[in-house]
Amino acid sequence: MVCLHPCSHLDCHWLPMMQLIYFSLRGLDPLHQSVSEFVDVIGEAVERVGGFVGMWTVVSALAGLNHHDVLVEGLAVLTAELDTDGSGVVGTAAATIHAGPAVFGPVLLQAGATSIVELHWLAGLLGSAALLSFLQRDENKKDGDQLCAQNQQFERAKKEREKEESENMAGLMAGFGHYTHAVVRGIPASLAKEALRTSQAEVDLTRARTEHEAYVEVLRTRLGLEVVELPADESLPDCVFVEDAAVVCGETALITRPGAESRRRETEVMKEALKDLNLNIVEMTDENATLDGGDVLFTGREFFVGLSKRTNQRGAEILADAFKDYAVSTVPVLEGLHLKSFCSMGGPGLIIIGSSEPAQKALKIMQQMSDHRYDKLTVPDDIAANCVYMNLPNKGHVLLHCTAEEFPESVKVFEKLKDHMLIPVSNMEKVKVDGALTCCSVLISKNPNI
């Protein structure tokens, strides 16, 4: 026979503490305090008391609150603390009888505090006709109750996810990732020998042009963008990397001042092309400023600007003046050519980042400086983190990324993005002259009436 009287196994000096815990828990207000606050208090109470009487006291107080979420979360805490001798289970069963088995029995099961078999055993041991009545319902009814409880739990989790997604979307640029036009440029023969580079690997010009043609064809045919192709210029060996010549956000185009002097004339033809698209042109005329578009990461909520060999503080300040609706933060680029040499956006609130120490340090700085929360997708290869993200009508989330031939382990990571249309695009030759996927286009979203 198990005694259920709370004082029968206690020395006198324990009684005041048990009463204090009981009435402290009962004094909490489920309407004005979060479930997590309750769970913290419950955890502290469980640490201070143990065994049957302690569990009886804590769970009885929980039952008296008559708040479903608190019961479930609180019992989850108790489950983790159950004694190996089963005294915790006995305590929860005692509280079940105390609170009313018809209400508390399903909650015990949902919280995982015990099992149907254990409750049957406890009902017989404790002589609880009410608990036995609950357990002896029609089998279909029991299944229905459990299914209902599971559905309720699922619906609560769904609402939490929807709330979190809503919060994540707050402040996001309308139409982020929705593009209608792309500006690209041909590859001059001079790229093979004269383009700026950190590697001395030999470039196969024919293959580079084939890769670039495939890239442009994906934009035009597979994704349906209107592609503006600018002619190659042999006097500008790096001109295919159009991203560095302009930063476009909404209807404003900032014409940059590239950090490499040999590339500054690339902006001339870019400016004219963007004028033809009726964008508002802002020019960077300050001779103390440098800015490469490859150092600019727009998240849909804010800009991060890499301070690198090609971009300085003054360039970042001018970008902030051009796009006053968005916060602008600077990030030191300790290694690599540009900020986007090891990161890019993979969707609203998702940053794709390389695994190197400099890349991870840069991400940490971005997270610390931002008022927004970003998820991250870490890939083993830094340059593989440079991807082109779009969100297009009838196609949804689209990601242009490296091929398995280039970076097989990184491609395995991209395959986790089940909601994305994944399009591998080869970049084996242009990477030899420090070119990446985002470098080769300027993406624009034009309203139909512009």
- Other CB atoms within 10 A of residue 152 CB: 14
CB 38, CB 73: distance < 8 Å: yes
Q: Is 263 annotated as a binding residue?
A: yes
Beta bridge partners of 248: 253
Q: Coil, strand, or helix at residue 270?
A: helix
Please identify which of the residues 239, 249, 343, 439 carries the catalytic annotation.
439
Consult the annotation and say whether 69 binds a ligand.
no
Active site residue 401: no
**Whether 212 is catalytic:** no
Q: For residue 433, say whether it is annotated as part of any ligand binding site.
A: yes
What is the phi-psi region of residue 112: left when phi exceeds 0, alpha when psi lies from -120 to 50, beta otherwise? Answer: left
Any binding-site annotation on 183? no
Q: Which two tokens stand for residue 103?
A: 């209400």
Is 350 part of any known ligand binding site? no
The span from the CA of 257 to the CA of 196, in Å, is 16
Residues linked to residue 305 through DSSP beta bridges, in sequence order: 296, 330
Contact predicate 114/89, CB 8 Å = yes
Tokens of 185: 């440029």
Tell me the C-alpha distance between 136 and 50, whole Å.
31
Q: Widest CA span of the chain, in angstroms?
A: 96
SS3 content of the chain, % helix, strand, coil (to 5): 50, 15, 35
Please, are residues 92 and 108 in contact by the beta-carbon 8 Å criterion?
A: yes
Catalytic-labelled residue, pool 181, 338, 397, 420: 338
Query: Does 162 appear as a known binding residue?
Result: no
**Beta strand residue intervals within 268-404, DSSP E:** 280-283, 296-298, 302-307, 327-332, 343-347, 350-354, 375-379, 388-392, 396-401
Is 314 annotated as a binding-site member?
A: no
| DSSP symbol at 189 | T
Distances 450 to 142, 216, 249, 443 between C-alpha atoms, Å: 62, 24, 15, 16
Catalytic residue set: 338, 439
Q: Which residues are annotated as a binding site?
A: 196, 238, 243-244, 263, 310, 433
Q: Which residues are annotated as a binding site for substrate?
A: 196, 238, 243-244, 263, 310, 433
